Every structure is written in C-alpha cells, then in structure tokens.
Amino acid sequence: MPVIRLLSVRLLRIALVLLCVAGLTFGLMLASPIDPIDAYLGPQIAQAGAEQRALIAERWGFDQPPLLQFGHWLRQLLSGNLGWSHVYNQPVNEVIAQRFQRSLALLGLAWLLSTLLGFGLGLLAGMREPAKPTHSTLDRVISGYAYLTASTPAFWLAMLGLLLFSVTLGWTPVCCAGPSGSLSDEVSLATRLHHLALPVATLTLLSTAPITLHTRARLRSLMHSPVATQAFAQGASRRDVAWRHGARHACLPAITLACASLGELFGGVMLIEQVFAYPGLGRATVEAALRSDIPLLMAIALFTALLVSLGNATADGLYRLIDPRLRAQAP
Amino acid sequence: MLKVEHLSLQLPYYANWWRRCWAEVLRDVSLEIHPGEVHAVVGASGAGKSLLAHALLGLLPAPCRQTGRLHFQGQPLTAARQRQLRGRDLALIPQSLNALDPLVRNQRQVSWAAQRAGHTPASARDTATQALDHYQLNAGAQQAFPHQLSGGMARRVLTAMAHVSRAQLIIADEPSVGLDPQQRDRVLNALAALARGEGKAVLLITHDLRHALPIAQRVTIMRQGRCVETAPAAAFQGEGSGLNTDYAQALWQALPDNQFGNPLTSTDEQAQNVA
C-alpha cells in the first residue's frame, strides 16, 4: 500500500526530527547560565544551605551524568510522562493541555485569518492583465500594506494597539484571557472572544504579508504564461483567469508558506502573549526558560517541533492533491 | 472576412538601463482572409508570424506601438472589439503545448473554453465532450491531465478548444510542430475540414511550406517582419516561375524534391510505397 508506506516514512522522519530537537534543547539547557536550583529557590536562596541544595539535586537527578538524565527523561516520555513542572507545580502534561487550549484559539484564529486574507489580497493584487500597462491602485495599496507590515516588529504593533484600543478608546480589555479573578470555567465565549480580539488582530495583521506577496508574485508570473494567454484568447476576463487558473497555481506557494509559517507564528504568539499578558503556551515558554524549568521547556520544544513537522507534512500532502504531476513521484 | 492593412508593430527594448529603444517587429503587413479559406503565413523563425497572430487577437504585452488598420467582417477591429470577439468569433490554437493548464483535467479546460464562448456550464460540458470525441480523444484521455497526454493528443485538445468557440476565424499558430507525419496530417486535415465544411476562415501559421501547401488556398511569405509575397498555393509548382519575388522562389526551390499530395491520401501512399 503506497499510502501506508508514505505515512510510515513520514512518521519515522518526524520522530527523528523530534529526537534531534529534544537532544538539542537538553544540550542548550545544560549550557544555560541559569542554575535550576537557584531559580527554583528564588528569594529563599539565602536560607538554603549546601546540604539542602544537594538534597534537591539528588531528588531531581542532577547528580547523575547528563546522558543518564536524558535517557531517563526519554524513557519517561515513551511511557507518556513528561515530568513535573516546578514553575507551575503541576504535571507538565496538564500545563501543556491547559495552556495549549488557550494558545490554540489565538494561534488557530490568527493562522486561519492570515492565510485566507493573505491569499485573497494576493490574488486581488496580482491579477493584472499583461495588456494593461500600469499597476492598479488596488495593487499599489495592497503591496504597500504588505511591505509595511512585513517590516513591522510584532511587539511594537501590539503595544501600539494596546495603547490605542485598550487604554485610549477602552474597546478591548488590557490583559489576560478573561476578567481578572474569575475562574476559567466561568468565562463565557463572548468574553473569551473579546479578550482574544486584539491579540488575534495584531498577529493576523503581521503574518498576512508573506502570503500576500508570494501569492501576488505567483499570479503575476502566471498572467504572463501561455496558460493565461490561452485563457485570454478564449475571451476570459481578468477575474476569470485569476480565479480559475490563478487560484489553483497560487495555492501551491500559499500552502507551503501557511504550513511553514506555523513555527514563525508560534514565535509571534510568544511575543504577543507576553505583551497582552495572555496565559498561553508562549508565556509558559518564557517562564520555563527564565526559571530553568527543564521538563516543561523540553515538552514545549517537542510540542512546537511536532506542530511544525505536522504542518510541513500536511503541506506535502496537499501539494500532491493539487498538482497531479507530483502524484506519480515517490515520496 | 479579415483584412489587415499596413500593420506595423514596435516593441520596446532597453539598449542600456536608461535608454528605451523600439524594435520594429512587423512592418507594413497587409493580407486578407476570406470565409472558407485556409490562408497560410509562412516564414522562418523570428519572421513575426506569432506576433501577427497575437496582434490580430489583441494579446500583445502592454508597451507596444501598433499602427495600421484591422477590419473584421467589414467593421474596424479595435481593441475593445477584439476583447469582445475573442473566444467567440476569433479563436487561437496556440503554438505552445504549455497553454494547457497542468492542474486541470482536459475535459474541464475545454468546457471552460465553451463557457467563455457563451455556453451555460451544463451545455459547456456536453459541448466539450462532443468536441473531444470529434477529435478522437477517448474518455480516459478526456479525464486525464495534460502531462499524461502525448504531443499529438495535447494538440488535439487545443484544437477542440478552438472548435467549441464556434469562431469564424481560427488562427492556428504552428499546429504541426513536433508531430509525426500521421499526427500532423490529422491536425492539418481537421483545420482544412473546418474551412471546407463549416465555411470558417483559417489562418495557418507555419515555418514549413510543405505543411501549408496541401491544405492552404493562398500563402503569404513573411521575412523579417515584412510580407514578401502573397501567392495562390497553385503558384508553388515546377520551377516556381509563378512567384514574383526571389525570396519566395528560393524558399520553394530549397525544399527537398517532394510530392505535395493531399494529406488525406499522402500517408496512405507512403504506407503503400513502403509495402
């Protein structure tokens, strides 16, 4: 069965990637100047003697050689246990599950909106007939917007948005995923969306540009190709060519970008969550890194890598679906 | 049906990065095509044949200078009218097989062409299937993608696209290139049938006089963007003494000694000769 072979090859590849990511993260954490025991003790560092520190190190297994520690972690991982997060004082599985739910809303909405918006704007900007000598105003506006947002730092725009919409106008809440002091079960969907609006808008605005620009470039080159000339010779309008031929062809770079940008978007999510104090996976990453919470950080790195790998595998699969010439090739 | 008077065309190029020059690619081209006639335009590569075809359809890239007059069915053929008539009264069989969209099934592409010619989506599908059947493409080939077809089959799909438009003037740009003799004759005969049977005008563009003569009534020889001579196909015989210009005579005399029979029978004859 070619499908089963394809899937197993892909899964094996993803597993190898994950192993490398785990090893690399572990190495980086070992080399980190932040001592996990100091970070754990925090202000109580003065009260802890050398004996207590040795006790903590023994309990956490820091007295063993690094390779043995890694092997131990790997064995636990295979049995489904990701360890204990000392920052949140919870099992890592639970931290990730809770945080990811919130981040998923942010990441998923921003990803979906930016992909659709980017693709649509790219099509609008790129559908210029070769027989028309000048760029349309629409093209100028869209490209200008894309270049501008592509060169805007995420945290800066987030802060500007916060200043304008939350502080000055008071339209959106200043922080968090719900009103402060309320439990997450009590918050209604409308309130959740209200809190999501500004972070999602900021993230969408910023990640639209690459897809727009690539879609536009692909469509413009298609408009000069024999395919478009033939369609124009058949009396097709610009919109007809852009929709029937252009959308199909421009899909390919758009899909690649959309799936590859998952990782980039995740980076953006970290910054945005930091600015909006949104309790998602991004903020957990920053906390875990600053306080040397190795099990949590390893898990998050692994999780992100899995997300990106799955994104790329999906892109490859969709490519085969759209371009029949790729279907005949071996994986 | 179509009358081209003193058509000249200039395209821009950059001599260096600030100075734009204009290259004259067509100069004072005049010709006339009648209904029911196959009119061949013959010339070497770079003579301006394809540009002439694109100029007739209004498909040239933006910065170009065009002078001269075009008339179609007695009325001036302006850019707006070209846009209106493309796909309905004017059809193009393109030179490049890349004109087929690699991501779309053949039958679907042909039905799009029918829709662009004014069919409803439902009738366009039937029309497309009929046209493809007419050009002997079976159901498997109709549902295949362009890269799965041979060159001859792809050519026939392109011909079917022009066929569904019910155009009065069909411009065929090098339809015989890259095909074996039997496939070539099949395509050329299909064009001849369009002119003879349905009273359409066919402008056949080719670089090979041998492909043009069997089906064309009149031949225009082009060279370096100019019309050298327009002569009836009958003038190409013997020593070529019926031809007025040296270039046309030279072109005729340079051909390998060949019999220009009817392509319908030529392959049969060849087969018999082999037997």
Which H or E run contains A57?
A: helix A50-60
Mean of pLDDT over chain B? 87
B194-220 average pLDDT score: 90
Q: Quote the pLDDT of residue B187.
A: 85
Which of A227, A239, A322 would you mutate first to test chain B, the one with the most B CBs within 10 A?
A227
Assess whether pLDDT exceeds 70 at residue A116: yes
d(CA B6, CA B73): 18
Q: Quote the pLDDT of residue A186.
A: 66
Assess whether pLDDT exceeds 70 at residue A114: yes
Compute the nearest-CA separation of A237 from chain B (Å). 9
| A331: its two tokens | 């994986």
| Residues on chain A touching B143 (C-beta within 8 angstroms) | none
Q: Which residues pair with B2 in a beta bridge?
A: B33, B72
Q: Quote the pLDDT of residue B275.
A: 46
- Cβ-nearest to B147 among A130, A235, A325: A325
* ipTM score: 0.87
| A14: its two tokens | 């993803």
Contact (CB, 8 A) for A234 and A145: no
Q: How confident is the model at residue B90 (pLDDT cuts 50, 70, 90)?
A: very high
> B110, B103, B112: which is closest to B135 by C-alpha?
B110
| A260: its two tokens | 């590859």
> A319, A323, A322: which is closest to A6 by C-alpha?
A319
The residue of chain A with its CA nearest to that of B103 is A323
Contact assignment for B104 to A325 by CB distance below 8 Å: no
Mean of pLDDT over chain A? 83
> A23, A62, A66, A14: which is closest to A40 by C-alpha?
A62
CA dihedral B190, B191, B197, B198 (to 10 degrees): 120
Contact assignment for A130 to B102 by CB distance below 8 Å: no
Domains and their CATH numbers in chain A: 14-81 (no CATH), 98-327 (1.10.3720.10)
d(CA B207, CA B222): 10
The pLDDT tens digits of the residues spanning A35-82 come to 777 777 766 766 777 777 777 777 777 777 778 888 888 888 888 777
Residue ranges of domains in chain B: 2-89+167-274, 100-166
- Cβ-nearest to B62 among A131, A235, A322: A131
Q: How confident is the model at residue B262 (pLDDT cuts 50, 70, 90)?
A: very low
d(CA A292, CA A110): 29
d(CA A28, CA A194): 38
B244-261 average pLDDT score: 74
Q: Quote the pLDDT of residue A216.
A: 93
Contact assignment for B99 to A224 by CB distance below 8 Å: no
Assess whether pLDDT exceeds 80 at residue A323: yes
Q: What letter represents residue B231's amino acid? A: A
> A271, A310, A268, A298: which is closest to A95 by C-alpha?
A298
Instruction: Give contacts of B 196-255 with A, CB under 8 A.
Output: none
The pLDDT tens digits of the residues spanning B4-14 come to 999 999 998 88
Q: Quote the pLDDT of residue B204.
A: 94
| Residues on chain A touching B98 (C-beta within 8 angstroms) | 225-227
Residue percentage of chain A with pLDDT more than 70: 93
d(CA B127, CA B148): 22
Q: How many residues does the structure list for chain B?
A: 275
Q: Classify the phi-psi angles of B174: left when phi > 0, otherwise alpha if psi is within -120 to 50, otherwise beta.
A: left
Residues on A contacting B at a C-beta cutoff of 8 Å: 130-133, 224-227, 229-236, 240, 244-245, 248-249, 322-325
Topology of domain B2-89+167-274 in CATH is Rossmann fold (3.40.50)
The pLDDT tens digits of the residues spanning A205-236 come to 888 899 999 999 999 999 989 999 999 999 89
Q: Quote the pLDDT of residue A331.
A: 52
- Measured on CA atoms in the order A146, A147, A150, A152, is the torsion positive or negative? negative
